Amino acid sequence: MITITSTANGRVKHLVSLQKKKKEREEENVFLAEGIRMFREVPGERLKEVWMSETFYRKERALAERVLEGSSAGRVLLSDHVYEHVSDTKTPQGVLCVVERKEHDLAGMLGGGAPFLLVLDNLQDPGNVGTMLRTAEGAGVTGVILSRDCADIYNPKTIRSTMGSIYRMPFCYVKDLPAAVDQMRGGGVHTYAAHLDGKRDYDQEDYRKPCAFLIGNEGSGLREETLKRAETYIRIPMKGQVESLNAAAAASVLMFEAARQRRQ
Asked: is 3-100 a CATH 3.20.20.105 domain? The reply is: no
Tell me if 3-100 shares its fold with 106-263: no
| Angle, CA of 79, 81 and 86, to the nearest 5° | 95
DSSP 132-183: HHHHHHHHT--EEEEETTSPPTTSHHHHHHHTTGGGT--EEEES-HHHHHHH
Per-residue pLDDT of the chain (264 residues; tens, 9 = 90+): 789 999 999 999 999 999 999 999 999 999 999 999 999 999 999 999 999 999 999 999 999 999 999 999 999 999 999 999 999 998 999 999 999 999 899 999 998 789 999 999 999 999 999 999 999 999 999 999 999 999 999 999 999 999 999 999 999 999 999 999 999 999 999 999 988 888 899 999 999 999 999 999 988 889 999 999 999 999 999 899 888 888 999 999 999 999 999 998
Domain range 106-263, CATH architecture? 3-Layer(aba) Sandwich (3.40)
Q: Which amino acid type is present at position 262?
A: R
- Those residues whose C-beta lies under 8 Å from the C-beta of residue 189, and which sit 6 or more positions away, are 110, 115, 117, 210, 211, 212
Domain extents for the chain?
A: 3-100, 106-263
- 74-78 and 47-53 beta bridge pairing: parallel
